[in-house]
Amino acid sequence: MTLNWKIGGLLLGLVFFAAVLLVKPIGVSTQFVILDGIVADMVNPDLVTQTDEGYTSTNAYLAKSKGKYAKSVANPLNYSFIFVIAMVVGGFVSVMMRGGLDKAERTMPALWRANFGDSAAKRNLATFVGGFIVLYGARLAGGCTSGHMMSGMMQTSLSGYIFALGAFAAAVPVAMMLYKKEA
């Protein structure tokens, strides 16, 4: 079962519109830092503390923004964190609806196979490394593609359009270098 890209794009746009209308713009990269903070707080219970003024942390990043990130570590069941968990669960449900993990390993895209071979381990490693690079870059930029580009452009933010231009200016040549052979 595949979803037509036009319908998928329309549904994605509706989700972004509903998110902005009901809660706030979508952005997820900060929540990975919050997850790190939750794990670190389990190891070091003194990492996040509550004061009369709010929350603070011995970690400078978690303490910035008047303790907003420290508060999210102390109380992780917020909209943004649940949204990230829902993304992971949604990805898993999608794989299962398409026949499970075994079928996903067997149905490698022809374009990948033509350029890199049939190794599922190689594909998984490339996916992990690519994801790491994107997340690292998102933290350097102070936000991710969903926050800067998608939510930003939806709100007609000039920085969103500039980020999109930069993202595609980098992505197109890299894709052309990586995928030299056509399927």
Q: How far apart are CA 120 and CA 112, in angstroms?
A: 10
Query: What's the average model confidence in pLDDT over 21-41?
Result: 86
Q: How far apart are CA 144 and CA 142, in angstroms?
A: 7
pLDDT at 101 over 80: no
* pLDDT score, position 70: 92
Backbone dihedral region for residue 83 (phi beyond 0: left; psi -120 to 50: alpha; all else: beta):
alpha
> Which pair of structure tokens corresponds to residue 30?
């900060």
Query: What's the average model confidence in pLDDT over 10-22?
Result: 87
pLDDT level of residue 31 (50, 70, 90 thresholds): confident
pLDDT at 139 over 70: yes
Name the percent of the chain lying above pLDDT 70. 98
Residue 36's φ and ψ, nearest 5 degrees, are: -60, -45
Backbone dihedral region for residue 58 (phi beyond 0: left; psi -120 to 50: alpha; all else: beta):
alpha
In single-letter form, the type of residue at position 61 comes to Y
> Which pair of structure tokens corresponds to residue 149?
């580009």
pLDDT level of residue 104 (50, 70, 90 thresholds): low
pLDDT at 11 over 80: yes
How do the domains of the chain map onto residue ranges? Answer: 1-107, 110-183
pLDDT level of residue 105 (50, 70, 90 thresholds): low
